[in-house]
Structure 1
C-alpha cells in the first residue's frame, strides 16, 4: 500500500501528531509486515479498505509516538475497539477516505485527546441526519454556525466524535450524540456543554472546546480533556 507522509492539516493542539495519505486500492496483507505492524485476528476477514484504514492509523500512531521516545510499540485495540496506548500516554486516531492521523501526548495534565477527520457530507445527507446528530436545544447555536460555514452538520458530527474519543478514557462506556450540546461557535472553535453527568470529573454542564479547520472538502476537529 502506498503511504505518503503528508497532511492537509496542521493541528491546533500542541501535541505530537503524524498524518498520512494512503491508497487503499493498493493494499495487500503483506503491507502489515512491511510497516512492522500485526494484522489483528478480528480483521483477517475484513475488506481491504478496512484493513488499509487500520494499518494507516497505526503507522501514524507509531510515528507520532517516536518523538516521545516510544518505539516498537504496537497500538492494539481493546474489546471496545478503543486503541490501547502505552502507560502514561493519551492519544487518538482518525481516518477518512485516504487520510489518516494520530495525535499523542505524555503530558501529565492530559486525561484524553480527541481528533476526527471527516469528508463533507452531501447537502441531502446533512438534512437527513440532523435529527440523529442534533438535539432540539442546539437549533439556535446550529443556525449561527450555519451562517459561518456551508457544512455545519459535518462539523458538529466530527466535533462530537472528537469529544467521545477525548472523554472515553474517563467514562469507559458508550454515550451518544445527545450527551453534548452545542452552545457557541467562532471561526475556529465550537463550545459544547454536557447534558448529563458522565463521570465524577465530567458533571452535567461541563464545557468542552473543540477546535476545527477545513481543507480540501474535509474538516479536522480536535479537543483535549485536561485534569482540573
Structure 2
C-alpha cells in the first residue's frame, strides 16, 4: 500500500469547511492556506505533484498557488471518486478533469480551493476567489467590469457597498466563465453577462447578454452565490445536470 504524499511546508492542512451560504449536494470542496515564503525546493516532489514547465519557470508565488490548488483538487477527487489524479493544464489553460467529472480550482492571496462533482449531478462548476477591493479602486475599475445597467444599479445604492458590489460582480463573472466555458467551448467576457440582483446573504442572479450556443442564448438566467472570509470573496456558479 502506497503512503500518502506528504503535505508541503508551504501549505496548511486541507479544510473541508463549506464557506458559502448554500451547500451543494454531491460535491466535494476543499481549501488550504499557503505561504510562498515557505515554499521549499522539494515541495512538489514531497507532494508527489509534477509541475509543468511553465510552473517550473515561475516565481515562488505562482508555484505555491499552483501547488496548493492542485493539492486541493487531487484530495477532492480522492474523496469523491477514490482516484489520485492531479488535473493537468490544458491548452486553454483550464484544468483537465476526468471525462465524467466537472470541477474548478481557484486561488487568491494565501488561499486556494477546489470543488469537484460527477457530471451526472452537476454539468458545470465555476469558483473564483478575489481580495475585496477598496472603495476607491472599485470605483476606478467599475467601468471595465460592469455593464451600463450594472453601473446604474451601483450608483443608486449606498457608496459603502460599492467595493462589495464591484468585487462580487467581477468574481461571479469569472465563476460563470469557468462553469460555462467547458460546456460551450466559446470565450466570453465581462460585457457578455450581467448581475440582475444580489443579496447581502450571498445569493446572486445572472443573465447572459450574448448567444454562446443553441442552448445557452442571450437572456438565459443562472444562479450564483458568494461568501466573505478574512477580506476575501469566494463565488460559485453551479449548473445542475
TM-score interval for Structure 1 and Structure 2 normalised by the shorter chain: over 0.9
Counterpart in the other structure of 2:168:
155
> For the structure 1 residues 8 and 66, does the alpha-carbon distance in structure 2 shift closer, same or farther, using more than 3 Å as the test?
closer
Query: Does residue 132 of the first structure (1) align with residue 144 of the second (2)?
Result: yes
Please give the secondary structure, in 1, of the residue aligned with 2:215.
Answer: coil
Query: Contact conserved, 2:142 with 2:151, CA < 8 A, in 1?
Result: no
Query: Does residue 4 of the first structure (1) align with residue 7 of the second (2)?
Result: no
**Runs of 5+ consecutive residues of structure 2 not aligned to the other structure:** 1-8
- The CA distance in 1 between the partners of 2:17 and 2:59, in whole Å, is 26
Query: Contact conserved, 2:18 with 2:29, CA < 8 A, in 1?
Result: no
Q: Residue 73 of structure 1 is aligned with which of 85, 91, 111? A: 85
- Alignment deviations for residues 169-224 of structure 1 (CA, whole Å, 9 cap, x no partner): 11223211011111111232111110011122211101011111112111111111
Query: Contact conserved, 2:19 with 2:227, CA < 8 A, in 1?
Result: no
Query: Does residue 27 of the first structure (1) align with residue 36 of the second (2)?
Result: no
TM-score, structure 1 as length reference:
0.92
Query: Does residue 207 of the first structure (1) align with residue 221 of the second (2)?
Result: yes
Query: Does residue 176 of the first structure (1) align with residue 189 of the second (2)?
Result: yes
Q: Residue 103 of structure 1 is aligned with which of 115, 126, 131? A: 115
Superposed CA RMSD: 1.9
TM-score, structure 2 as length reference:
0.87
- Alignment deviations for residues 32-55 of structure 1 (CA, whole Å, 9 cap, x no partner): 111110010122211111011111
Q: Residue 41 of structure 1 is aligned with which of 53, 59, 65? A: 53
**Superposed displacement of residue 87, structure 1:** 1.7
- Alignment deviations for residues 75-131 of structure 1 (CA, whole Å, 9 cap, x no partner): 101111000001200000000011000000014142210111111112221111111
Q: Residue 129 of structure 2 is aligned with which of 117, 133, 137? A: 117
Runs of 4 or more above 6 Å deviation: none
**Superposed displacement of residue 9, structure 1:** 5.2
